Amino acid sequence: PVLLLHGTLVGEEGIEAYEDYALERGFAVDNHTHEGVRDGHPIEESAEQVSREVNFARLEIARKNLSQLMGCDRDGLKDFFKLDGNLYQSHDDSAEVVLDLLPTVLRRFEMLLSQPEDKLATTFSGKLERLEAELSGQFENYGAGNHDRCARMAAEVVDSIAPKAVLVGHSAGGFVGYTLALNPEKKPDDDPFTYDGGNGVGEVVVLSSPIGKGMSVPAPPGVAEMPFYLVDSAILKPVEELPVSQLMRLNPLVDLAYSGSKELARLSFNLATLASVGLTSPLTYAVRPGYEQVMANSDFFKNYVEGKPIPDGVTVLAVTSPLDRMSLEDRSQVDETQANAHNLSVDMHLDPEQVERERPTWTHVKMTEMPEAFRQQFAERLLEQPDETARLLDASNNDGVRYDTLVLLEKQLAEIPDWSEQDRFSGLKEAMQKVADERLPFQDSPSFVAYRVLRSSSLSKSTS
């Protein structure tokens, strides 16, 4: 399931381009107005709401899949889970182990789904995580492989029935989604700053949100520049376009004096706005506490976002633009010392003159309107930056992301027959081999796609 989270001051329409994009590709999509995000309510309240929505989305898909699976025989289960014990040129008995245990797994799901829905809304993803751990132990006891391999097999089974969610959030919505993923509730408790749904998130795509360093204090440039923009567009520019004004500015001295005065006025307006925001911020934060929590100097940011590790199995992609004047690029990027944290600086292909004419918040809003262009730039980067692509294949990333990356790579590398012999792809080849060595008995696993790509390259080399 894909859950969309808009920014402040707008509703679901603020991210509807991503809704259309996801629906066209067959995803189950949840996009509605989050009043808490829109109105600046406490981040933890919005995150708790999204946590429940993650659980409800997974519940709905699990019920649908379970109704289909309960009537399946052994062959039907094998087809649904895409199990095959002969994927890697030698027979793998672990596929039979999985098939033997699937009826027990389905009964556990049936019991779980029979619980009251209001209870599952706040516990479902955590319960699935514990079920996954138990299943991993059973696989290990039956000799299906080492601990890591059995854990991945168990995750594949559970995720096939109740897939983890993809969160796509813009601005404050991205901040909420990122906070949710960083703070999963590991056991039921009353802590308002941990969320059961965090256990059910596989990927977070954050569009221009200050998740790296927090929002600029007291306000970002886009806010500081807005008052002068309003004066300039409503008064100064219309006056500048008058024939008498243009005639006067033919005099170089007049033009120089006017330009200098205008720039000084711009600077004065900006400084006055920042001072005003600083003075009025206590009142603003009292009414809209969520605004304060995204600031770089807030206790919430320092305690629950800044420096917190991204859990294994979750991939974060921070999409940023150097043109954004609200959520500045350097404040919106994640720390890439973790292999499951990734940044994508995008080119919005905007006319510089138009950017100059538009209001300072325009480019920030435009980040919600270009899903296809951003995906294309992501795909192009796979071959342009193979070392970054290798990071996407690291075991700490979500398997869905690893699988999608490998499927894209398979198509691209097919056009470069000798890619495996090129030095610039050496790190990528090594990363793919590590994935292939996982050897999971599922046709739609990252390991089988990696194995298939490497084998195709090897066959191509031997043929040539």
> pLDDT, tens digit, for every residue of 16-49?
999 999 999 999 999 999 999 999 999 999 999 9
Residue 247 is encoded by which pair of tokens? Answer: 């005639």
> pLDDT, tens digit, for every residue of 185-216?
988 788 999 999 999 999 999 999 999 999 99
Contact 203/317 with Cβ under 8 angstroms?
A: yes
Residue 58: strand, helix, or coil? helix
> pLDDT, tens digit, for every residue of 378-409?
999 999 999 999 999 999 999 999 999 999 99
> pLDDT, tens digit, for every residue of 251-303?
998 889 988 998 999 899 999 999 999 999 999 999 999 999 999 999 999 99
Contact 179/43 with Cβ under 8 angstroms?
A: yes
Q: Does 74 have pLDDT greater than 60?
A: yes
Q: Taking the C-alpha atoms of 214, 218, 220 and 221 in order, what is their torsion angle to the nearest 10 degrees? A: -150
Q: Does 60 have pLDDT greater than 70?
A: yes
Burial profile 92-115: b = 16 or more Cβ within 10 angstroms, e = fewer: bebbbbbbebbeebbebbeebbee
Q: Tokens 């309510």, residue?
A: 41
Residue 207: strand, helix, or coil? strand
Gap between the Cα atoms of 305 and 45, Å rounded: 15
Contact 251/311 with Cβ under 8 angstroms?
A: no
> pLDDT, tens digit, for every residue of 130-140?
999 999 999 99
pLDDT band at 247 (very low <50, low <70, confident <90, very high): confident
Q: For the residues 224-251, what does the mean pLDDT come to?
A: 90
What is the predicted pLDDT for the residue at 278? 93
Handedness of CA 229, 233, 235, 236 (dihedral sign): positive
Q: For the residues 137-157, what does the mean pLDDT come to?
A: 97
**What is the DSSP secondary structure assignment for residue 233, as one 8-state letter?**
I
pLDDT band at 330 (very low <50, low <70, confident <90, very high): very high
Q: Does 354 have pLDDT greater than 90?
A: yes
Q: Tokens 């066959």, residue?
A: 459
Give the DSSP H/E element, type plus range, for residue 61.
helix 43-69
Q: Taking the C-alpha atoms of 375, 380, 383 and 385 in order, what is their torsion angle to the nearest 10 degrees? A: -80
For 53, counting Cβ atoms within 10 Å of its Cβ (0-12 exposed, 13-18 middle, 19+ buried), the class is: buried
What is the predicted pLDDT for the residue at 461? 59
